[in-house]
């Protein structure tokens, strides 16, 4: 994680906030439960993190018109700008991990981490 933390230090966002932005950039607006799962966050943690991110102007929160208990979270242009500015650096960090581990160990690591995903039926 040190390379990721170093990259994020310049942005003023946390690792968890980065994961939220990455998921929103990849999948688009979504409800809190889905976002928490995809970003590997506990729902109560996402609630707190989302509040902070909204205050920073990185995401928007909107209530569902039909079910007021549900809210949709979307990335803002400022949040997308952070993703766009750091995507190449993040890719270089991942490539560094791959080179250090070798392709086979890197893929095995990803497979092992996928077992921790609560949405993974194999785990």
Residue 119 has pLDDT above 70, yes or no: no
pLDDT band at 67 (very low <50, low <70, confident <90, very high): confident
Position 120 scores a pLDDT of 53
Decide if 6 is inside a domain.
Answer: yes
Decide if 17 is inside a domain.
Answer: yes
HEC profile of the chain: CHHHHHHHHCCCCCHHHHHHHHHHHHHCCEEHHHHHHHCCCCHHHHHHHHHHHHHCCCEEEEECCCCCCCEEEEECHHHHHHHHHHHHHHHHHHHHHHHHHCHHHHHHHHHHHHCCCCCCCCC
What is the tally of structural domains in the chain? 1
CATH code for the domain of 35: 1.10.10.10
Are 20 and 5 spatial neighbours (Cβ–Cβ below 8 Å)? no
Decide if 100 is inside a domain.
Answer: yes
Range of the domain at 93: 2-114
What global pTM score does this model have?
0.82
pLDDT tens-place string over residues 8-24:
998 999 999 999 999 99
């Amino acid at each position: 994680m040190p390379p990721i933390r170093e990259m994020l230090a310049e942005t003023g966002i946390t690792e968890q906030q980065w994961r939220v932005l990455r998921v929103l950039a990849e999948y688009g607006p979504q409800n809190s439960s889905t976002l928490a799962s995809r970003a590997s966050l506990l729902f109560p943690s996402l609630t707190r993190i989302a509040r902070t991110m909204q205050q920073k102007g990185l995401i928007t929160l909107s209530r569902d018109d039909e079910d007021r208990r549900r809210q949709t979270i979307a990335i803002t242009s400022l949040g997308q700008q952070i993703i766009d500015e750091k995507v190449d650096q993040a890719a270089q960090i991942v490539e560094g991990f791959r080179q250090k581990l070798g392709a086979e160990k890197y893929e095995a690591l990803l497979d092992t981490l996928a077992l921790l995903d609560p949405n993974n039926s194999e785990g």
